[in-house]
Amino acid sequence: MGALILEPLARPDGMTTHEYAHRRLRQAIMVGSIRPGESLTIRGIAEAMESSPTPVREALRRLSSEGALKVLDNRRIMVPKMTAERFGELIALRAVLEKHAARRAVAHITERQIDRLVEIDKAQDEAIARKDNAAALLLNQEFHRTLYTANPDQIIMPMVESVWLQLGPFLGIAMEHVAQLYFVDRHQEAIAALRKRDADAVAEAINADICEGIGGFERAAIENLLRLARQ
């Protein structure tokens, strides 16, 4: 019975227990700190965060609806295994979703919001410079989220986050073996296109950002990583 390691996380008051559990588990999965195939037990998690099975179960149900966890026939719950095929599907889907989200945001985004994007991008560059992978990852997500949610009627964000979640375990594997993540930054290009209100150019910048970033892993490299992880 391996004890589950969970980073403590600030709990704003008013936040319910199941919400807190959801957030903590989600973050752990997103940054790849739970290994695929590792099976999670309700009581184990409940104990790890000093609560009871009921709210933990709710958190796990949500995460499985979000694609972050898989419920087996035995009713055991685990992080889905990553394969080269699944990875390919995730990247292709991510590109399609985010191109669309970006395009749909262009008409709504304000100059003020674009300024905010510039700030976030700068902070990310600093994080990369000081080799702080975790911070850079979070800032990269914040950049994309800020852009897409500029559209007030947007409904795609939960799906984008679902893909991020499903890519999390791969990031964990990659970080174990690569030590330093390679970040691609086409954000400047996206920002310039946003200022010109050129939707096609924005979409293309986002596409490049994704495909040359995490999506740029060669298939051979992926299979190699996954083989290493299996041992």
For 47-199, where are the E strands, in sequence order?
Answer: 70-71, 77-78
Contact in structure between 4 and 44 (CB atoms under 8 Å): yes
Which of DNA, a second copy, none sits in contact with 52, Cβ below 5 to 8 A by type?
Answer: DNA
Q: Judged by CB under 8 A, does residue 124 bind a second copy?
A: no
Residue 83's binding partner out of a second copy, DNA, none, with CB under 5 to 8 Å set by partner kind: a second copy
Residue 57 or 103 having the CB closest to DNA: 57
Which single residue is written with the structure tokens 């330093």? 180
Site string for DNA, 77-116 (x = CB under 7 A): x---------------------------------------
Do 205 and 186 form a contact (C-beta atoms < 8 A)? yes
Give the residue among 65, 62, 207, 67 at the shortest CA–CA distance from 144: 207
End-to-end CA distance of the chain: 19
Enter the tokens of residue 200: 């096609």
Site residues for a second copy per CB under 8 A: 18, 54, 57-58, 61-62, 64-67, 83, 85-86, 88-90, 92-93, 96-97, 100, 104, 151-156, 158-159, 162, 166
Question: Footprint of DNA on this chain (CB under 7 A)?
Answer: 1, 16-19, 40-44, 46, 51-55, 57-58, 74-77
